[in-house]
Amino acid sequence: MSGRKVALVTGAAGGIGLAVVRGLGQQGTAVAAVDNDATALEESTQKLIAEGLEVVPVLTDVRSPDEAEAAFDTVQARLGPVDQLVNAAGIMRPGKAWELDEHAWEESLAVNATGVFTMSRAAARHMVPRSSGAIVTVASNAAGTARTRFAAYCASKAAAAMYTKCLGLELAEHGIRCNVVAPGSTDTPMLHSLWSDGSGPRATLDGDPEAFRVGIPLRRIASPDDVADSVVFLLSDRAAHITMHTLTVDGGATLGT
């Protein structure tokens, strides 16, 4: 396809990442779907291909610098130079800040922050010689708002967001834009894992004063597509003059801060 864009999306086997792959594919972008879950990645990719989208699975552990570099080499050989990167891979390991074990802390940083670093660095090395490209990191509204029991998640997402903005400052002279999308509670398996019973959705909407957590003023939980639409926008030419920006998609849960 003439003028076709090529995108690489991490965390592509489910949740927000999968929604981003579909959203990009539906507008004619060739997408490399990156994940470290081989079974889920194959299943999701086959469904997207059946929908007529150009999607290629690339099994990758984003924590590994070598695998990150190899992923870009593979995608370039199969689809062409990567124009867009979306860092959507992420994990959540809840626990009180003063009771966290080292593994939960290190794993959170490895996936949520180091994964953004390895993939973004590899992307920059491929984009700079062509003086074009766009990177979007899916962080969280928790990157700028303290949450009880989510210290590792908040800290790792804050690191990912600030790294992305610093990268955007340095890559601006090369015409490469780097932005952040900060979702709030989104209807994904990650959110479902925090619910112990059928009252989970209501509790998310209402908030929890004892945990200093505001509810959602719009009175709805985001769908993965709500977040994906924002990612697709920031990658597009319609956002050509936007860089180093955080677009919060949380229904007002952080009160516009």
Active site residue 153: yes
**How many domains does one find in the chain?**
1
Domain assignment present for residue 66? The answer is yes
Cβ atoms within 10 A of the Cβ of 197, count?
6
Name the 3-class secondary structure at 22.
Answer: helix
pLDDT reported for residue 200: 82
Q: Is residue 144 part of a domain?
A: yes
Kindly give, in sequence order, each residue whose CB lies less than 8 Å from that of residue 111, ignoring residues fewer than 6 positions away. Answer: 62, 63, 89, 90, 91, 156
Residue 204 CA to residue 194 CA, distance in Å, equals 10
Please report whether residue 203 resides in a domain.
no
CATH number at residue 147: 3.40.50.720
Q: What is the DSSP letter of 150?
A: B
pLDDT attached to residue 1: 41
pLDDT tens digits, the chain, 257 residues: what are they? 458 999 999 999 999 999 999 999 999 999 999 999 999 999 999 999 999 999 999 999 999 999 999 999 999 999 999 999 999 999 999 999 999 999 999 999 999 999 999 999 999 999 999 999 999 999 999 999 999 999 999 999 999 999 999 999 999 999 999 999 999 989 888 878 877 777 888 888 988 898 899 999 999 999 999 999 999 999 999 999 999 999 999 999 999 98
In a domain, 199, yes or no: no
Range(s) of the domain holding residue 97: 6-188+224-248
Is 68 inside a domain boundary?
A: yes
Angle of helix 115-127 relative to helix 151-171, nearest 10 degrees, comes to 10
SS3 assignment, position 180: strand
pLDDT attached to residue 191: 73
- Asked, for residue 236, whether it belongs to a domain, the answer is yes
pLDDT of residue 189: 80
Domain annotation covers residue 154: yes
pLDDT of residue 188: 86
Catalytic residue of the set 8, 153, 177, 249: 153
254 in any annotated domain: no
